Amino acid sequence: MGRLLLHRLGGLVTTLLLSSVVIFGSLYLAPGSPENVLFGNRAPSAAARAAVRHQLHLDQPLPVRYWDWLTAVLHGDLGRSMVTGQSVAGRVGAGLGSTLLLVALSISLVVILGLGLGTAAALRPGRVDATANALTSLSVTVPPFVASTLLISVFAVKLGWFPASGVQSGLLGQLRGLVLPACALAVVSCGFLARVTRNALREQLDREHVQTAQVRGLPRRVVLRDHVFRNALPPIITAIGLLTSGLFASTLVVESAFAVPGIGQLTIQSVAQKDFPVVQAVALLLVAAFVVCNAVSDLVQALIDPRLRIVGRTT
């Protein structure tokens, strides 16, 4: 188990390092420059432009800038925003809480509804299965930005149950403001998870050992718990891991539609402004979220399935 953890950690560091090079390089290659943002619509004198470029270290070659950035990060300094001069950690930190809460809320909805719907479909063939099938087919075609519009017009504008925009202070206020965005995010993923769950359970239900257990007269509850669910879990957990990491990226759209003060707005703006340190931080955060989610899902699987605990010794 310890080895698996170490192995995963090494993978995370390598992935982050590689993606940081790619992100830094692609920002560098894209047209435009952060100092133009600062100068607005005014053409500055060559000297003024040079001074600002120097101050922002834009006058140095790419490898030097990357190295400076990397060493600073390794010392725990994410740098300063080129546009506002604020610390990157501060700018990212201001919105991170909301985004994390949004993803947590959303994945909880996905797990509860997706698992529930998938299980119902698997255990009740016929009308329930058909209904669930229809529902999931519909839900996987509703992208978050469409769901946002629908949810706002029904639950915020018509019924007034939830705020249409923004979040209030305090945990309760935050939660209330995040319910609709979380639903908008969850719709697509719910359908996906329900499908995966249904198929995984069906596959197990048809297995010989399950049928043997039923014939032996074990209670249905025990059969389902020990023989069906436990064996069906690996694909479901993999799906949840992938969905969670995908949710981080989808928050950009939903946060903008619901005016949630998360890191979505920051990401969009800083990319447009070529604010290198901020883009690096948020992009790497997304990459890290992806790697961590997958690592966690692997670890959980290893906990469930002892066969997976031995890394690198596949038979």
Helix (H/G/I), strand (E/B), else coil: 292: helix
By beta-carbon proximity to another protein, the closer residue of 119 and 273 is 273
d(CA 244, CA 250): 10
Q: Which stretch binds another protein (CB under 8 A): 16-24, 103-111, 132-140, 248-256?
A: 248-256
Among 187, 210, 266, 286, binds another protein (CB under 8 A): 266
By beta-carbon proximity to another protein, the closer residue of 194 and 258 is 258
Does residue 178 belong to the site contacting another protein (CB under 8 A)?
no
Amino acid at 61: P
Does residue 257 belong to the site contacting another protein (CB under 8 A)?
yes
Query: CB of residue 75 vs another protein: minimum separation in angstroms?
Result: 20
Does residue 100 belong to the site contacting another protein (CB under 8 A)?
no
Query: CB of residue 103 vs another protein: minimum separation in angstroms?
Result: 18
CB 192 within 8 A of CB 239: yes
Among 69, 192, 258, 276, binds another protein (CB under 8 A): 258
Q: Give 243's Cβ-side CA count (13 Å radius).
A: 26
Diameter over CA atoms, the chain:
87
Does residue 40 belong to the site contacting another protein (CB under 8 A)?
yes
Query: CB of residue 218 vs another protein: minimum separation in angstroms?
Result: 52
Does residue 161 belong to the site contacting another protein (CB under 8 A)?
no
Among 16, 38, 218, 296, binds another protein (CB under 8 A): 38
Q: In sequence order, what DSSP letters do the residues of 232-285 get, joined into one string?
A: HHHHHHHHHHHHHHHHHHHHHHHHHHHT--SHHHHHHHHHHTT-HHHHHHHHHH
Does residue 114 belong to the site contacting another protein (CB under 8 A)?
no
Helix (H/G/I), strand (E/B), else coil: 76: coil
Q: Which stretch binds another protein (CB under 8 A): 106-114, 183-191, 232-240, 260-268?
A: 260-268
Does residue 125 belong to the site contacting another protein (CB under 8 A)?
no
Q: Give the pair of three-digit tokens for residue 110.
A: 């996905």
Size of the site for another protein (CB under 8 A): 53
Over the range 83-113, which residues count as b (16 or more CB within 10 Å of their CB) and which as e? beeeebbebbeebbebbebbbebbbebbbeb
Does residue 137 belong to the site contacting another protein (CB under 8 A)?
no
> What is the pattern of x (binds another protein, CB under 8 A) and - over residues 41-80?
xxxxx-xxx-xx--x-------------------------
Q: In sequence order, what DSSP letters do the residues of 150-189 get, joined into one string?
A: HHIIIIIIIS-SS-SS---SHHHHHHHHHHHHHHHHHHHH
d(CA 247, CA 239): 12
Q: Give the pair of three-digit tokens for residue 265.
A: 């707005």
- What does the binding site for another protein look like in residue numbers (CB under 8 A)? 30-33, 36-45, 47-49, 51-52, 55, 81, 83-87, 90-91, 94-95, 145, 149, 152, 156-157, 163-166, 252-253, 256-259, 261, 265-266, 268-269, 272-274
